[in-house]
Structure formats: structure tokens, C-alpha cells
Structure 1
Amino acid sequence: MDSFIQNFPIHTPVQVAWGEMDALQHVNNTVYFRYFESARIDFFDQLGLMEELKQSGIGPILAETRCRFKRPLFFPDRVLIGTRITALSDDRFTMEYQVFSQSQQAVTSVGNAEVVVYDFRHNRKATLPTHIHRALETHLVAELEASE
């Protein structure tokens, strides 16, 4: 867990719910994308990006997302969703996620998302505001090796 916390200093705790399990008695694959969404919004909120959206109408939209399942999750469990930035440009950035199971003391899945900055008032792609770009830059790291 120490390695997880070191690699993902921003993480979001999530309690696994009984209703998230499927007929095969493990957390359904679609739930991981909700976990990623919760972590993404928490990350944005911590950086003030959600407040930026309210004020300017400029905010993040998901262009693409992926998940690689390493081991199943079960109820009951509490997971930590680690989030960080692995690529950053003027109008988009890539987020990386890891789901760490506290009961298994292991990473159960990894994922990433390409996020584009969007002007919701004018319905077009936008440029990251300078202060948001700087905030994201402080969380920019190289992607983990696939073996981790």
C-alpha cells in the first residue's frame, strides 16, 4: 500500500456495495468506470476545476477511457482509487487510475482516460486556462510500467 500511496498521492476512497456485484459474485466490469468517474471528479474538485466550470463554462469532457482488470473485487471491501496525470497539452490531458483493494492489499485494476477541455457555452473544444494547466502540471508523472 505504501507504494500505491507514493505513486498516487491523490486518491479517493470508495466502499464496494453489495449491489455492484454481478451473477458471478464479483464487482461488475461497468462499475469500475463509475469508480474512475468518482475519482476523476474528486481530483478535478481538489484542483478547483469544477468551480472553473461553474464560473467560465469551460470544463473537462471524456474523450476516451479504458480499464484493464487484474483481479476481481468482492463485497465487502473498501477501495482507494488513485488518480494522476500522465500527459498534458494545451487542450487535453491523460489521467491514469489504479484501484487498490484494502482487503486484498493489491491493485485490482488499472485504467486511463483522455480528457478534453470543452467550452460548454459555445459547444467547442477549448484551451486549458493557465492556472488549471499549472495545477495539472504539478501532478504530471510518467506512466507506470505495465507490470506494476
Structure 2
Amino acid sequence: MNYEQGLVPGGRGARETQPHNPSVTGWIAKVAEQADWVTSVCTGSFLLHAAGPAKGRRVATHWASEETLEAFGDVTVVRDARYVVDSNLVTAQGVSAGIDMALWLVGRIHGRDHARVVRRYIQYEPAPPYMADESG
């Protein structure tokens, strides 16, 4: 089975300039209508809100931008989840949360065993230094 997916990245442009660019938001809206899955990482959720797919939905965004996105209205920012699934919309808080989101999506589409193979292949074994090591 083939799936169409749109991934919207974050960054300064995603939260400051591009939400006001009708060429970008129009393209995102058009692609989102045709996609089986619409995803964003970090502040890409700002673009999804501006383009329409995130309006009225539950989303995640970078922790430093949660209040700003919520202030736009017509969106529920979930603060305690690395990624949020709302129907076919999946948004992640930041870069490493985006990896978690991507692995969840691989598991959803291709099965958990396949997602585990992908995780192993990319050597994604999260163990943050300074949080995992209490001695240093």
C-alpha cells in the first residue's frame, strides 16, 4: 500500500515569516488535502495552523513556542507529549521528538517490528547524557 505524507519542518521561518506567505501556506493546504498523513516537527505546526490543517486540532510544538502558537487560537497545544496524533495529523515537539514521531508512523504504516528494525538501523537509542548519568 502506498501512503502519501507531507512533512512540514520547523525553524525561525516556520514561525515568523512563512505563515504569512500565501504561496507556502496555499501549497501546504493543497498537499494536506491529498495526504494520508500530515506531519510537522518543532514549529512546523505554526505553518500547519496558518495553512489550516491544524486549526481546531490538538498539536505539539517546541516548548519555547507553545504559548505563542496557542495565542493564535483555534488550536489545542499539548504540552506533555513528545508527539501528538490527531486523526491523520501528527506533530512533534522538536528534533528528537520528530524521530520518535517518525518511528511511530513507520510502526503504524508498516508494523512495530519494522519500526524496531528501522530504529536499530539508524542506531537510535536515546540515552541523554546528563540526564541518564547521575554521577556526572
Q: TM-score range by the shorter chain?
A: under 0.3
Higher share of residues assigned helix? 2
- TM-score relative to the length of structure 1: 0.23
